[in-house]
A = this chain, B = another copy of it.
Amino acid sequence: MSTIQPLTANKAFNVNALRASCSACSMHQLCLPMGLGESEINRLDEIIGRRRKIPKDGLLYRIDDTFTNLYAIRLGHFKTFQLTPNGEQQITGFQMAGELLGMDAISTDRHHCDAVALEDSEVCEIPFARLEELFGSIPTLLHHFHRMMSQEITREQNVMLLLGNMRAEQRFAAFLVNLSARYAARGYSSTNFQLRMSREEIGNYLGLTIESISRLLSRFKKQSLLRVSNREIEILEPAHLKAIAAGTESCD
């Protein structure tokens, strides 16, 4: 059998597969459909456009693109970044499956950052105008959407705290603890995971240089807090790492 044959035979099926189905999505407990009944989920499904694949390093949207869709990450990881007035990038967040992209664009109908896939990824396109129409008849959905926006505000406040108040070691520990918690919430190991972003991207996000990140990794490794191999992380002492993140303890 050639490889073409099955593709053709299953065309109808594949077109179907391109439509997102929230109920079948493993992320629906974290994402917009959370708390909805079956019929409500179906109504949400109806407005969700297509599922879109974004290859590694692919651009989901770009600063100043007109805003029409929110994007729910189905699979993969993204980074969002702004450009500073003088042209360098500042990463404002790393997003993973179940999280929503594009909420910062609502205010001006233009995107305020670029969103780039850190690995091959998939998103669901959610036409925002139609979503707002749905809100009128599904209060639960509206309320949960507000929670998600509010959560984004909270997340950013935590980053402000991190950037404004913490020393390098504490920032990086907090970063790892945060990743760990988010993977745990998704049913993955909280101690073993792969960094999807480069050292440089981590440094950029944390307001540090790539060299500082590298040195911190070496230090944590030497203290047997972590085992590190390239982008593979194993947290050996979660409690101690949390203590460093909290500023209770330091790693000298």
A3 interface hit (Cβ, 8 Å): no
List residues 169-225 of chain A with CB under 8 A from any CB of chain B. Answer: 204-207
Per the bound structure, the CA–CA distance linking A166 and B82 in Å amounts to: 13
Stretch at the interface among A8-16, A44-52, A143-151, A231-239: A143-151
Given contacts A142-B132, A159-B160, contact A84 B150 (CB under 8 A): no
Nearest residue, chain B, Cβ from A138: B136
CA distance A105 to B153 in the complex (A): 9
Does chain B have a CB within 8 A of A57?
Answer: no
A106 x B207 contact (CB < 8 A): no
Across the interface, A107 reaches (CB within 8 A) one of B107, B139, B150, B165, namely B150
Contact flags A81-101 to B (C-beta < 8 A → 1, else 0)? 010111010101000000000
Q: Does A152 make an interface contact (CB < 8 A)? A: yes
Q: Compute how far the CA of A61 lies from the CA of B132 in the bound complex, rounded to whole angstroms.
A: 30
Interface size on A (CB < 8 Å)?
A: 50
- Taking CB atoms, residues of chain B closer than 8 Å to A160 are 90, 92, 156, 159-160, 163
Cα A165 to Cα B85 with chains together (Å):
10
Specify which chain B residues have a CB less than 8 angstroms from the CB of A66 in the assembled complex. Answer: none
Q: Which of B113, B142, B150 contacts A105 (CB 8 A)?
A: B150
Residues of chain B within 8 A of A153, CB atoms compared: 103-104, 107, 149, 152-153, 156
Q: Nearest 3 CB-CB pairs, A to B?
A: A106-B150, A85-B246, A163-B163
Chosen A-B contacts, 17 in total, with CB atoms closer than 8 Å, are A82-B157, A84-B165, A86-B246, A86-B247, A88-B165, A92-B157, A92-B160, A92-B161, A107-B147, A107-B148, A107-B154, A108-B154, A136-B139, A146-B149, A156-B157, A156-B160, A163-B163
- 19 new A-B contacts, CB < 8 A, other than A84-B161, A149-B150, A153-B156, are A82-B161, A84-B165, A85-B245, A85-B246, A90-B164, A103-B153, A107-B147, A107-B154, A108-B154, A112-B154, A132-B142, A135-B135, A136-B136, A136-B139, A149-B153, A152-B153, A156-B157, A160-B163, A164-B206
